[in-house]
């Protein structure tokens, strides 16, 4: 595969540029809002003196690009904050200080990150297995009753919002049937079994909706591949239907599925926010909702940047995988 290293390099540079662009957009959007930014950042109970302190730290008197540069410096090399008399150092990926909770945003998010990562990665495994499996099955059984039933189920899945599925699952499984306890997050390192057991329901709620989208895509791509000329070739050479579908048609669905997965990670973090809120899991998403509620600006900006970071990385990884999966793609 010629030029693959070059392609990977270009993608990496592109990813970094995208991350930078996102940080600019986010910074500009949130720190150039109407109203007193220092007051908003500090919180409603701050005294004028404290507000002035915050304004100094954010360098609100400087021009915008200087302020952004300052912010970027914090991200890359860290910076010092003086709160009143004491000075605290905020190390390298410094996302600022939450004046309302008097905590460093980076620490705050790092503490919640394992929960969200557990949730999304587990759900991803589920939606890929469920979705692709259902898709393959309905392409295999095309034209029969079982396909119509599967199509109906996936359509219903696509049409149900995450929080509705989550609500219903929680009420039915935890509340009525009492098959599972109401989820309580347990650290993976503390007790892997309890970790998985407690996350089962959140995983399922998050995965079901996404799985439906995958099932639709897998089915559509396989049917599309089945209509292509090369399938006709193998049929004309006596290759059996099992091999035609399992080997050739499925291979054609690979690349679209990878591409959709990248898209899905973006929407799944949105779903994760809902799932965490619904099940009371202490993840980044719930932190964001809380920060939005109390208008804790540094935390909002920090979580948005961190989540954006993960989504962009996921996209980049998918891009590379996609290029490997679809050898026909011209590397640009």
Site for other proteins in 263-322 (CB under 8 A): 263-264, 266-267, 269-271, 273-274, 277-278, 288-289, 291-293, 295, 297, 300-301, 303-304, 307-308, 311-312, 315, 322
Min dist. Cβ of residue 94 to other proteins (A) = 19
Point out which span in 48-56, 117-125, 185-193, 205-213 binds other proteins (CB under 8 A).
205-213
Q: For tokens 């008399």, what's the residue?
A: 85
Nearer to other proteins, 34 or 84 (CB): 34
Q: Which residues pair with 90 in a beta bridge?
A: 79
Residues 311 and 96: their CA atoms lie apart, in Å, by 21
Nearer to other proteins, 29 or 92 (CB): 29
- Smallest Cα–Cα separation from 317: which of 251, 263, 268? 263
Nearer to other proteins, 19 or 137 (CB): 19
Site string for other proteins, 206-245 (x = CB under 8 A): ---xx-xx--xx--x---x---xxx-xxxxxxxxx--x--
- Smallest Cα–Cα separation from 105: which of 77, 74, 83? 74
Min dist. Cβ of residue 52 to other proteins (A) = 21
Min dist. Cβ of residue 64 to other proteins (A) = 17
* 234, burial (CB in 10 Å: exposed 0-12, middle 13-18, buried 19+): middle
Residues 305 and 300: their CA atoms lie apart, in Å, by 9
Nearer to other proteins, 122 or 302 (CB): 302
Please report, as residue ranges, which positions from 22 to 81 form the binding site for other proteins (by CB under 8 A). Answer: 22, 25, 29-30, 33-35, 40
Nearer to other proteins, 39 or 194 (CB): 39
Point out which span in 43-51, 100-108, 190-198, 246-254 binds other proteins (CB under 8 A).
246-254
- Smallest Cα–Cα separation from 22: which of 310, 287, 265? 310
CB 273 within 8 A of CB 286: yes
Residues 103 and 134: their CA atoms lie apart, in Å, by 46
CB 298 within 8 A of CB 105: yes
Extract the tokens encoding 274.
């809902």
Please count the CA atoms within 13 angstroms of the CA of 194 that sit on its side-chain side.
9
Which residue in 11, 18, 50, 142 binds other proteins (CB under 8 A)? 18
**Alpha carbon separation from 301 to 23, 28, 98, 233 (Å, rounded):** 9, 10, 11, 55
Please report, as residue ranges, which positions from 123 to 162 form the binding site for other proteins (by CB under 8 A). Answer: 155-156, 158-162
> Could you tell me how many residues of this chain bind other proteins (CB under 8 A)?
88
Nearer to other proteins, 169 or 195 (CB): 169
Point out which span in 57-65, 103-111, 188-196, 323-331 binds other proteins (CB under 8 A).
323-331
């Amino acid at each position: 595969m010629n030029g693959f290293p070059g392609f990977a390099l270009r993608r990496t540079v592109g990813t970094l540029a995208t991350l930078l662009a996102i940080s600019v957009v986010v910074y500009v959007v949130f720190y150039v809002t109407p109203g007193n930014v220092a007051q908003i950042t500090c919180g409603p109970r701050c005294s004028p003196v404290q507000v002035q302190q915050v304004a100094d730290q954010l360098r609100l008197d400087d021009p915008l690009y200087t302020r952004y540069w300052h912010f970027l410096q914090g991200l890359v090399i860290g910076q010092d904050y003086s709160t009143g008399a004491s000075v605290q150092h905020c190390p390298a990926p410094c996302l600022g200080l939450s004046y309302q909770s008097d905590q460093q945003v980076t620490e705050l998010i790092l503490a919640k990150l394992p929960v969200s990562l557990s949730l999304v990665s587990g759900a991803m495994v589920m939606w890929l297995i469920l979705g692709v499996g259902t898709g393959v099955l309905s392409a295999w059984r095309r034209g029969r009753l079982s396909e119509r039933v599967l199509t109906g189920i996936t359509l219903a899945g696509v049409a149900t919002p995450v929080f509705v599925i989550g609500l219903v699952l929680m009420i039915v499984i935890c509340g009525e049937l009492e098959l599972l306890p109401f989820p309580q997050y347990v650290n993976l390192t503390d007790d892997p079994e309890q970790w998985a057991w407690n996350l089962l329901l959140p995983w399922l709620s998050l995965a079901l909706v996404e799985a439906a989208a995958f099932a639709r895509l897998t089915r559509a791509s396989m049917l599309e591949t089945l209509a292509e000329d090369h399938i006709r070739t193998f049929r004309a050479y006596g290759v059996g239907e099992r091999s035609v579908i399992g080997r050739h048609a499925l291979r054609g669905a690979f690349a679209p599925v990878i591409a959709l997965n990248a898209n899905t990670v973006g929407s799944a973090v949105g779903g994760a926010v809902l799932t965490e809120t619904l099940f009371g899991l202490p993840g980044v998403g719930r932190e964001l909702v809380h920060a939005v509620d109390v208008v804790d600006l540094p935390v909002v900006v920090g979580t948005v940047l961190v989540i954006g970071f993960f989504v962009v990385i996921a996209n980049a990884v998918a891009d590379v995988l996609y290029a490997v999966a679809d050898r026909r793609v011209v590397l640009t």
